[in-house]
């Protein structure tokens, strides 16, 4: 019973990341307006939580064919606001047909097909660009908020 997401044991990734985003926002605001001594520490923790909240949904993958659900070509064909609903409603993996339990039979059936898995959209290069861009934006916010008032 349940959905592919529940059977695969990965639903916690989609229920956890919004809380992490709120935590990142609170730490970011505190880092900008709180005591200067805690500024860097708050911003680093904020960045860490923001990055984790970004990665968690992208770490939902099929244990059989390694399809990264949230960033798969099928998910990217949908509007952004429909992706979570699509993912939460999946009964089977759209690529290999596994029901989320990743049984030996599912793995054997996938291997027998001889298909190659869809490459992950979020390659290391793309992830590094996200890290660099996010850090640059956070630094720019710091410079803007901490500038002397003239």
90 binds Zn ion (CB under 5 A): no
Q: Which stretch binds Zn ion (CB under 5 A): 15-23, 89-97, 121-129, 132-140?
A: 89-97
- Give the nearer residue to Zn ion in terms of CB position, either 20 or 67: 67
CA 69/CA 138 separation, integer angstroms: 29
Kindly write out the interface string for residues 46-85 of this chain, putting x where it contacts Zn ion by CB under 5 A and - elsewhere.
Answer: ----------------x-xx-x------------------
CA 102/CA 111 separation, integer angstroms: 12
96 binds Zn ion (CB under 5 A): yes
Q: Which stretch binds Zn ion (CB under 5 A): 5-13, 17-25, 39-47, 86-94?
A: 86-94
How many C-beta atoms lie closer than 10 Å to residue 68's C-beta? 19
Residues 70/42, Cβ–Cβ less than 8 Å: no
Distance, first Cα to last Cα, the chain = 64
- Least Å distance, CB 113 to Zn ion, is 11
- Least Å distance, CB 62 to Zn ion, is 3
CA 87/CA 58 separation, integer angstroms: 11
For Zn ion (CB under 5 A), the number of binding residues is 8
Q: At what angle do helices 39-58 and 11-33 cross, to 10 degrees?
A: 160
Give the tokens for residue 146: 């901490």
95 binds Zn ion (CB under 5 A): yes
Residues that bind Zn ion (CB under 5 A): 62, 64-65, 67, 93, 95-96, 98
């Amino acid at each position: 019973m349940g959905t592919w997401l529940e059977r695969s044991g990965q639903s916690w990734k989609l229920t956890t990341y919004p809380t992490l985003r709120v935590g990142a926002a609170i730490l970011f605001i505190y880092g900008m307006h709180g005591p200067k001594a805690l500024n860097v520490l708050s911003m680093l923790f904020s960045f860490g939580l923001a990055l984790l909240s970004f990665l968690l949904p992208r770490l939902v993958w099929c244990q059989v064919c390694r399809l990264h659900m949230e960033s798969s070509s099928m998910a990217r064909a949908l509007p952004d606001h429909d992706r979570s609903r699509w993912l939460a409603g999946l009964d089977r993996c759209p690529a290999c047909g596994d029901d989320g339990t990743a049984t030996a039979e599912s793995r054997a059936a996938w291997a027998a097909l001889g298909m190659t898995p869809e490459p992950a959209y979020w390659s290391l290069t793309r992830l590094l660009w996200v890290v660099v861009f996010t850090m640059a934006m956070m630094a720019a916010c710091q410079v803007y908020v901490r500038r002397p008032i003239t």
